[in-house]
Amino acid sequence: MTTPHALNTRQARTRLHELIVLDVRTPGEYATGHLPGALNIPLDHLDRALPDIRHAAQRGDILVVCASGARSENACHTLAAHGITTATLAGGTDAWTADGHTLHRPESARRTAWSMERQVRLTAGTVVLTGLALGRLRPAFRLASAGIAGGLAFSALTNTCGMAAVLAKLPHNRPHRGDLEATLAALRNH
């Protein structure tokens, strides 16, 4: 592969016509806007898509994208462990839009979901507030707040997020079976 491990938005924009772009965000996040031509393969479905991704990588360079670059970097490491060389978009779609590039927003999008980061903030905040409020009745409930605080610190140190992995399994964040099959077929024919 001729691309470096990370492409900035200028490099990606210049090469967009020749890259196979995989968006590893949840289907809801993908529907809110994605790079033109990007195919949605959620991070937790990457293993299932490995044969098709490997086949596509033989035909062209692959750019992996997410909102901030963290999930796409993890996806690149996973793919590299399976012998598939890819690049990530530095800063993700956030950097893409910050640099003035537009995202494709299909008019046929069935739903609009919050970004995973926003879902994590809401869930973490709700659990902390609930733990503190219930902790006035039973101090043991404060342990839930402490657990979330510890999880957030661990998340920052490891650049992973267990809560996001759990939230990604909720129905509104899951791909419809037909959507994923269509994406894999498009990847095979890319």
Asked if residue 120 and residue 86 are part of one domain, the reply reads no
Instruction: Give the count of domains, the chain.
Output: 2
Q: Write out the residue range of the structural domain in which residue 14 sits.
A: 6-113+175-188
Provide the percentage of residues in the chain whose pLDDT is more than 70.
Answer: 92
Q: What is the pLDDT of residue 2?
A: 42
Q: Write down the H helix ranges in 16-115.
A: 27-31, 46-59, 70-81, 92-98
| pLDDT 10s digits, 15-24 | 999 999 999 9
Residue 179 inside a domain? The answer is: yes
Give the list of residues 6+ apart from residue 80 with CB closer than 8 angstroms, or none: 86
What angle, rounded to 10 degrees, do the helices at 70-81 and 46-59 form?
Answer: 80
Asked if residue 30 and residue 103 are part of one domain, the reply reads yes
- Output the pTM of the full model: 0.73
